[in-house]
Amino acid sequence: MAKPRIVETSLSMLEMKGLGIGGIGILMFSLTLPASHIAVSFFGSLLVGPGRALISAGFAAVLLAFKHEPWPRRHHLPRLAVIAGGAIFGFPLLTAWAMDRVPASHGAIELALLPLATAAVATLRHGERPSGSFWLISMAAAASVFLYVIIEGLGSIHWPDVALLAAVVVVAFAYAEGGKMAQELGGWQVIAWAILLSAPLLMVLDASVVLSHPALVIDASWKSWAALLYLGIGSQFFGFVAWYSGMAMGGVVRVSQMQYLQPFFTLIWSWILLGERLTWTTVLAAVIVVTWVVIGKNAPVRQRVTNQPVKPTIPTER
């Protein structure tokens, strides 16, 4: 087996394509908090969290069967469990709980820490080595987010803030692991298998909530159902397909920086869909973190090269 080598890369055509596809995923993710805010207002966080993943499980099962995808190998299962724990259980439950207590625009700024967290996990797990300038710019963006949280919280951090920060940590592991696994299984295959393998537990969780509170399903408004369906189809499935595909092409660390643009889009959606008032503090914080990502997008990132071909990450005809 060829010994992996570390090379320093600048932006290539493949990385540019990865950034573009990853950006599509970010655009879909940017609707997650506003949609969660709408859904939890009626369904509650305990149904919205696992419910969105159960909806996406249907799409995953159909696509895997249609493409005749082979089952993951045994050594893939622990890594798929990491993805499921962060992207299917931890992040949806934590963000749904927080969105029942704080505005979506507030949560958008805190989730801007995701690129830094994802880069840190990729460094520890996969041998990618961001340059010093990359880390300095990421830390500056993170400091901007923390300053915003303190100012908006009138000098303190509250429990919804803790939940959102915990969501950042758990999904960062899912992002970094999934981005790397996508080079082996393919982008859509990674999230599809993680969701499908989680389906039995998801059904138990959803059934327990529905059986104890049947009115949640019977009396739900079309707006609540539309929000929940988007979370399952857009945020939980197709958003991850684009996101993992982009990271497989452009590298986990570099493409993860696209997440700094997510707060800007989420603020716009929060204003359009929820009528949330955008304070100057919130707008300024979003502008600052977006500025940092523009400055840092060309910072060198050293990647481990294994001469292993990248599996196609977008579903194609067989």
Q: How far apart are CA 103 and CA 165, in angstroms?
A: 15
The CA–CA distances, whole Å, from 293 to 98, 197, 260, 288 equal 26, 35, 6, 9
Q: List the beta strands (DSSP E) in 36-88.
A: none
Judged against a pLDDT cut of 80, whether residue 260 lies above it is answered with no
Are 41 and 276 in contact by the 8 Å Cβ rule? The answer is no
Predicted confidence at residue 128, as pLDDT, reads 64
Judged against a pLDDT cut of 80, whether residue 69 lies above it is answered with yes
Q: How far apart are CA 237 and CA 218, in angstroms?
A: 25
Q: pLDDT grade, residue 231 (50/70/90)?
A: very high
Average pLDDT on 34-52 reads 90
Judged against a pLDDT cut of 90, whether residue 225 lies above it is answered with yes
Task: Provide the sign of the torsion angle of the four alpha carbons 60, 61, 64, 67, taken in this order.
Answer: negative
What does residue 152 show for φ and ψ, rounded to 5 degrees? -70, -30
Judged against a pLDDT cut of 50, whether residue 243 lies above it is answered with yes
Average pLDDT on 236-263 reads 83
Please indicate, yes or no, whether the overall pTM of this predicted structure exceeds 0.85.
Answer: no
Q: What is the pLDDT of residues 177-192, one digit of tens each?
A: 988 888 888 878 888 9
Q: pLDDT grade, residue 151 (50/70/90)?
A: confident
Q: How far apart are CA 109 and CA 263, in angstroms?
A: 6
DSSP-assigned states of every residue in 136-175: HHHHHHHHHHHHHHHHHTTTS--HHHHHHHHHHHHHHHHH
Q: How far apart are CA 31 and CA 36, in angstroms?
A: 8
Tokens of 56: 């996406």
Nearest Cα residue to 178 out of 93, 265, 72, 318: 72
What is the pLDDT of the chain when averaged over all its residues? 82
Predicted confidence at residue 153, as pLDDT, reads 64
Predicted confidence at residue 301, as pLDDT, reads 59
Judged against a pLDDT cut of 60, whether residue 38 lies above it is answered with yes
Judged against a pLDDT cut of 60, whether residue 33 lies above it is answered with yes
Q: Interhelix angle for 187-212 vs 239-250, to 10°?
A: 150
Q: Which residues pair with 9 in a beta bridge?
A: 301
Lowest mean pLDDT among 5-19, 46-60, 63-77, 235-249: 5-19
